[in-house]
Amino acid sequence: MAMTEQRVSYTLDSSLETIDNAEEKATRIATELGFGDDEVMQISMAVREGAVNAVLHGNAYAPDKKITLAFERTGSELVITIRDQGKGMDLSKIPNPLAPENLLKTSGRGIFLMRSFMDVVEIRPSSTGTELKLIKHVHGPTAGGKEASQ
Amino acid sequence: MTMKVGTRQVDGVTIVDASGRITLGEGSVILRDTVRDLLSKGNKKIVLNLADVNYIDSSGIGELVSAFTTTKNQGGELKLLNLTKKVNDLLQITKLYTVFDVKDDEASAVKSFK
C-alpha cells in the first residue's frame, strides 16, 4: 500500500477476496469523503464491478498478476483507478445489455452498471493490461472537506 | 453477510426465502444450486423471496436470469417477491423488471400460478 495525503493505492492479488476487499475500501473511502448512502452504494458497486472485470477477465485469476486499485480525491471529484495485467479487451465487442436479444444473457452488465453509477467511466485497454478510471463528482457541502484516511 | 436460503411449500408453490448478498462466488452458487435442486425434485412453481437480500451485483443479476430461464425451459415458472429498493432499482435500470414477474405480496404471488 502507498499513500499520500489525497491519494491511496493498493496492490492486490487476482482473487475473489480482492473483489470484496476493493468494494469494502470503496465503501469506507466514499463514506469518509461524505458521499450520501445512495452514492456510496453506487461507488462501491462500480468498484466491485471493475474489480470483477480485472480479476476474472483481465488477469484471469493468474497468481503472478496483480491488480492495482487507487483512490484519489481531487478538488471536486473522487477518481478511482483499477489496473490489471491482462491482455486487454476489445471495447467494440462489448454488447449492449439493454438490447432485446441480450436481456436474458447471464453476463455482460458490469460495464453498463459502472456507467450507470459513475459520472465518468474511461476504459483504456492495451496489450499489457486494462486501465479503468471511475470518476464521481462531489456534490453537496458535506462532501468537500474530508480526505481519505486509513 | 453471505447468502442464506430456506425453502417452504405453500399450496404447491415453493417459496425460497433468501437473505444476504447474491454476488460473484458463494452467493451466486447457493442460488443456482437451490433452484436446480428444486427443479430436479419436480418443484417447478418457485417464488424467490428477496425481502432480506440487501445487495446484488452483476453476477447475481446473471444468476437471477439463469434461474428464471432454467425454470422456464423446464416448463416451470419463477417469480420474484418483495424486492428491496436497491434490487428493484437494479432490475429497473437493466430493464429486467419487465422480464421477471415481480410480486409484492406472498399470497397473491402464490395464487398467480396457473
ipTM, two decimals, is 0.90
Domain count, chain B: 1
Q: Rg for chain B (alpha carbons), in Å?
A: 13
Distance from C-alpha of B9 to C-alpha of B4, rounded to nearest angstrom: 17
**B32, B97, B31, B86: which is closest to A98 by C-alpha?**
B97
Q: Please report the pLDDT score of residue B18 as a whole number.
A: 96
Low-confidence ranges of chain B (pLDDT < 70): 1
Shortest Cα–Cα distance, B94 to chain A (Å): 6
- Report the C-alpha gap between B78 and B74 in whole angstroms: 11
pLDDT recorded at residue B113: 94
Cβ distance of B57 and A107 shorter than 8 Å: no
CA distance A4 to B3: 37
Domain with residue B55: its CATH number is: 3.30.750.24
Long-range contacts of B85-88 (CB under 8 A, 24+ apart): B86/A41, B86/B54, B86/B55, B86/B56, B87/B50, B87/B53, B87/B56
- Measure A5 CA to nearest chain B CA, in Å: 31
- Indicate yes or no: CB of B94 within 8 angstroms of CB of A49: no
Interface of B with A in 52-111 (CB under 8 A): 57-59, 61-63, 65-66, 68-69, 86, 90, 93-96, 99
Q: Which domain holds residue B82?
A: 4-111
The residue ranges of chain A whose pLDDT is under 70 are 1-5, 140-150
Which residue of B lies nearest to A116 if distances are taken between CA atoms? B93
Q: Which CATH class is domain A2-143?
A: alpha beta
pTM of the model: 0.89
Cell (9 digits) for B92: 429497473
**CB within 8 Å: A52 and B66:** no
Q: Could you give the CA distance from residue A57 to residue A50 in angstroms, rounded to a whole number?
A: 10
pLDDT for the residue numbered A146:
39
Cβ-defined contact of A103 to B69 (cutoff 8 Å): no
Domain boundaries, chain A: 2-143
Percentage of residues in chain B with pLDDT exceeding 70?
98
Distance CA B52, CA B67 (A): 18
Structure-derived torsion over alpha carbons of residues B9, B10, B12, B14, reported in degrees to the nearest 10:
-50
Q: Could you tell me how many CB contacts below 8 A there are between chain A and chain B?
A: 45
* Half-sphere exposure for A145 (CA within 13 Å, toward CB): 3
Distance between B63 CA and the closest CA of chain A, angstroms: 7
Could you give the CA distance from residue B44 to residue B35 in angstroms, rounded to a whole number?
9
Other Cβ atoms closer than 10 A to A63: 9
Cell of A141: 457541502
